[in-house]
Chain A
Amino acid sequence: DQQVKQNSPSLSVQEGRISILNCDYTNSMFDYFLWYKKYPAEGPTFLISISSIKDKNEDGRFTVFLNKSAKHLSLHIVPSQPGDSAVYFCAAPSNTGNQFYFGTGTSLTVIP
């Protein structure tokens, strides 16, 4: 059972425009969420996180929004740059704290 879902496997955006990556979750007990970025042949790198006590967290060009009632979060990248082209994973720690649940990823392509 996929507890964290990313329903868009890919997204293409023009350079300079906004990229919006979406993530849904099923477990209302999740209280912390993370976004990881992954380039081909490399490991995931932490990008940004949000606690469930907040509905928004911003770090430079990256902003994560959390809608707890909808069990939905999104990552906004603005302005998008070609170097942002990567696979983005949404993740949430399990209630035991023993693991992350990862979405299946969204492959973002920023077109110059």
Chain B
Amino acid sequence: NAGVMQNPRHLVRRRGQEARLRCSPMKGHSHVYWYRQLPEEGLKFMVYLQKENIIDESGMPKERFSAEFPKEGPSILRIQQVVRGDSAAYFCASSPAQVGTEAFFGQGTRLTVV
């Protein structure tokens, strides 16, 4: 049973480009969460999705960021017109039910904006 798979592991983008981060949850998990870890900081919640629905996006910047979890395929976190401040590690987690027990994290995507 594969764990949470994130790709790419490392992503370099120039300022103004788009970044697409992918997350395939564990088999049987229908709840996906995205977190961001800035240098020297803890993990900050961005968005919580179930299949085809955004449940809570209260942690996501209002502009340039979007997320989806389609019926088929991985969850996508999309950052348009990236800026240097978007450089961070982005982690996806999945759970079989709503957070209340542990969630399982992927290895993260390290985004570097140059």
Contacts and interface: CB of A to CB of B under 8 A. Distances in A.
B98 interface: yes
Contacts of A97: 98-100
Interface stretch (B11-19, B69-77, B78-86, B104-112): B104-112
B56 A99 contact: yes
A98 B55 contact: yes
B56 A89 contact: no
Contacts of B44: 102
B101 interface: yes
Interface residues of B, number: 28
B41 A42 contact: no
Interface residues of A, number: 24
Contacts of B103: 46, 100
B42 interface: yes
Given A32-B101, A43-B105, A98-B45, 6 more contacts: A43-B106, A43-B108, A93-B100, A99-B48, A100-B43, A104-B41
A60 to B, nearest CB: 17
Nearest to A44: B105
A104 B42 contact: yes
Contacts of B59: 99
Contacts of A98: 45, 48, 55-56, 58, 98-99
A43 B42 contact: no
Interface string A94-110: 10111111111100000
A64 interface: no
A16 to B, nearest CB: 29
B38 to A, nearest CB: 11
A70 B87 CA distance: 37
B26 to A, nearest CB: 12
A66 interface: no
Given A42-B107, A42-B108, A43-B107, A99 B99 contact: yes
